Amino acid sequence: MCTPENTEFFLVPPYCKKILKENEDKHDDILEEPLAKIEVSNPSKILQLLADLTNKSTRRLEIKINRYLKNECECSFVFIINIHSISEEGVVQVIQERKLEENIRGILSESAINNILEIKPDNEKSISLDPKIQQLIKDVVPDGSGEVVIVPIIAQEHKGNETDFPVYLVCIVNTLKDSAYISKLVCETFKYCLTTLLNTRQCEEERRLKAECQNLLLVARKLFSHLGDLSDLLKEIMTEARRLTNAERCSLFLLDPDHMHLVAKVFDGMSPADCSTEVRIAADQGIAGHVAATGEILNIKDAYKHPLFYKGMDEATGFKTRNILCFPIRDEDNIVGVAQLCNKIGGNFDYFDEEVARAFSIYCGISIMHSLVYKKIQDAQARTRLSNELMMYHMQVSQQDVLDVTMCPSEHDVPEYSLFSFTPRKILSKETPCYVLKMMKDLGFIDTFRIKIDTLSRFILYVRKGYREVPYHNWQHAFSVAHFAYLALKNFQLIEKGYLSQLEALAYFVSCLCHDIDHRGTTNSFQQQSNSVLASLYSSEGSVMERHHLSQTICTLNTEGCNFLDSLSSQDYRKCLDLIKDMILATDLASHYKIHAKQLNMAQEGFDKTNPYHKYYLTSLLMTCADLSDQTKDWTETKKVAQLIYAEFFAQGDLEKKMGKEPANMMDREKASIPDHQLEFLTQCCICIFKILATIFPSAKVLVNAIKQNILCWESSKRIFDKYSMEGKTSYEVLVSEELETEVQNTLDNIKV
C-alpha cells in the first residue's frame, strides 16, 4: 500500500494528451499535462476499482467502493450518505455490503449543507456537526458503538451559477488509520469514481422520472374511465394515490359548494354509502383544512408531534398514524378538495412522493371537475324527463277551481276539529282545500304575511294535483299531516309560547302539506334498486323521495300564480325555503334515528328556545310526529290506515318479485304478519317518538295513550289473525275483513271483565 512517505506519481498516458490548435503559437508542441498526484492510494488498486464500476445501480457501485475503502482504511465498516440537491435530503441506502430494504433518510436544511462545506479536508478548524447530520449518522451508528470519520465529497451543481455543493458524505467507522490519511484516501478514491457515481445516479433519476410519467399516464387513463360515477372516481383516486406513494390509508375531502366545510367522500377506504355518518370538518380546521386554506403540501414525519393533528380519530379506531402527506386538489382556478395519505409503508413520505402528489393532483382536479360537469348534464337530462313526465301526468288548475275555494259559501265548521282525537280523513276530499285555507287563516298566516288568497288557493290546488292516486301516500295523507301541524300549533301554543316564530310555524305547516308530493308509493330503497330516474338524481345525497318532494314543492311555488310567499322580504323568503327544506328532509325516518338520542336528551334537559340546535331537533320531531299521526287515532281509524299502508307495501313487493328480487317480509303479501309488523312499528318507533313530544308538551300524553290503546288492540288481534290464517286466509285478507274489528273489541271487553 502507498504511504505518504512512499509517494508515487501516476503519469497521464500519451493518447490522453491534448494537441494544440494549428493557429496557436506553439502549434508544433504537445501540451504536457500536469501529473495526477496520488499520495496515499495504490494506483493499481484504483484502476482495478474503476474497472469494476460497471453496474447500472448506485447501490452496487457503493458496495464495491465500501469494500475497497474498508480494506484500505482497516475499519469496521463504511457507509455513504447520498446528498440530493433537489430534495435537500440525505439518504443511506447501503451499509458496507448490505443493501437496506428501507433507506435511512433525513432532511438536510441549508444550514446543514453549509455545515458540510465547512468540514472540507483542508479545513483545520474543529467543526461541530449540524444536529440533522448527527441524527442521520446516529441512525446508522448509535451513540457509543463506534467512532466515525466523515469525509465530504464536493462537486459543482448548476443552480444559475456554478457553486460548490456536497454530493456525498463518506463515513468510515472504527478505523485504525489517522483521520488525515483517511481524508486523503477517500478524496483520491472519489477523484476518479465520482463521475461514474454521479452519472449512474442521474441515470437512475431519469429512469425514475420515466416510470413516474408512465404511471401518471396509466392513472389518467384509469381516472378518465370513471367520469360517469363520481363515487367510483373518488374511490379510484384513493386507490391510485395509495399505490403511487405506497401509503396504508387515504382520505379524500371535497370542498362543499359554499367552501364552508370539507366533506369526506372517501374515508379510510370506505364511501359514505358504507359509513353510518358523513365525515365533515370545517374548511380551516385540522391538517386537511390547513392545506385547503393555504394550498400547500404538508409532509408530516411525526403526526403526533404536529399541532394540527387530531389523535382522537386514532383513539376511536385503534389505527396508529405515523406520518401524513396531505396535498390540495385543484381545478383550473381553485382548490376543489384535499387528499390525505397516512403511513407510508417502509418509511416516511419523501420529496419524490411530494412531486408525485403535485402531478397526481392535477389529474385528480381535472377528472373531478369533468365528472361533476358530466353529473350536472345527467341531472339536467333526468330533470327534463321527470318534468315532462310530471306535466303529462298532471293537469292545469283552472281559474274556476280557484274561485270555488276562495268564494266557497260553506263555513266548514266541524265539531271537535281542533282536538287530537279528531279524524281528518272524515273530511270529503273535495272540501279539503277549503279546510287548508281555513286552518291557515285561523293560524294568522294570511294576515301576518299579507298572503293573497287567490295565490294561496291556487298553490293548494296545485299541491293536491301533485299527489298521485296511490293507496296511502296521497293527498288525504298530506291533509292529515297538515291537520296535525294545525293541532300542534294550536294546542301546544307553539307560537304564543315562543317555541316557533310565525315564519317557522308557516314553514312547518307548508312542509307538512307538501312533504310527500308526487310520492310513487314505493320506498327509497326500491327507487335505488330499480335504478329509477329519481335515484339517478338524488341517491348520492340520500333521502331520495324526500329530496324529490322538496324539489316538487319548490317547483310548485315557482309555478306562475302559485308563489304565495312573494310578499316576504328576500331574507325571510330564503329563510322560509331553508326551513321547508330541513323539515321535509326530516320526514325520512332514517334521518330521525340519527338525531333521536339528541332529541331525547333535549327533552330531558329542557328545551332551550335560544339554542338553534334545539330548534332544529324540535321542528324535526314535530314533522315526524305529524307524519306518524295516523297511529294516534282510534283503533277503527288506525286499522283503515293499516289497510292503505299494506296495500302500498304489497304492491311494491309484487314489483320486486317481478324484478327477480326477494322483498322484505312486511312487503310480501304471502309472508307478512301484519299484527307483528304493526306492534314492532308502534313499540319501537311511534311510542318512543311521542313520549319525547309528551316530555316537552305534557298535553301530548293523550297521543301516547292512544298509541298504547292501539298496541293493546293489535296484541289482541294476533290470535284472530292466527285463527283465520289456519283457514287459509292471508294476513291482508284478515285485515280488511269486517269481522276483525268486532272480534278485537270483544276480546278487549272480555279482558276488562
Torsion angle in degrees (nearest 10) through CA of 579, 584, 587, 590: -90
Does the annotation flag 475 for ligand binding? yes
Choose among 198, 207, 239: nearest CA to 222: 239
Residue 740: which of 708, 426, 725, 751 has the closest Cα? 725
- 473 is annotated as contributing to ligand binding: yes
527 is in an annotated binding site: no
Q: How far is CA 339 from its chain centroid? A: 10
- Cell (9 digits) for 175: 478505523
Say whether 635 counts as a known binding-site residue: no
C-alpha cell recorded at residue 463: 299541491
Task: Answer whether 472's CB lies under 8 Å from 644's CB.
Answer: yes
Q: H/E element holding 487?
A: helix 475-491
Between helices 589-605 and 687-696, what is the axis angle to 10°? 30
Residue 516 labelled as part of a binding site:
yes
Rounded CA separation 348/299 (Å) = 9
SS3 of 536-601: the string is HHHCCCCCHHHHHHHHHHHHHHCCCCCCCCCCCCHHHHHHHHHHHHHHHHCCCHHHHHHHHHHHHH
Cβ 687 vs Cβ 707: under 8 Å: yes
Angle between helices 432-442 and 475-491 (to 10 degrees): 20
**267, 254 contact by CB (below 8 A):** no
Q: Is 261 considered catalytic here?
A: no
Extended beta strands in 306-440, E state: 324-330, 335-344
Q: How far, in Å, CA of 172 to CA of 63, rounded?
A: 14
Contacts by residues 15-18 (CB-CB < 8 Å, ≥ 24 positions apart): none
What spatial distance separates the first Cα and last Cα of the chain, rounded to whole Å? 119
Amino acid symbol at 557: L
Residue 733's Cβ-count burial label (10 Å; 0-12, 13-18, 19+) is: middle
| Cα 632 to Cα 422: distance, rounded to the nearest angstrom | 10
* DSSP SS3 for 336: strand
Say whether 627 counts as a known binding-site residue: yes
Beta bridge partners, 169, equal 81, 152
Q: How many CB atoms lie within 10 A of CB 77?
A: 18
473, 592, 596, 677: which is the annotated catalytic residue? Answer: 473
477 known ligand binder: yes
CA atoms within 13 A on the CB side of 695: 17
CB under 8 Å to 526, separation ≥6 — which residues? 652, 655, 656
Helix (H, G, I), strand (E, B) or coil at 466: helix
CB contact at 8 A, 695 and 604: yes
| Residue 273 · residue 540 · CB < 8 Å | no
Known binding positions: 473-477, 515-516, 627, 678
Known binding positions for Zn(2+): 477, 515-516, 627
Known binding positions for AMP: 473-477, 516, 627, 678
Residue numbers annotated as active site: 473
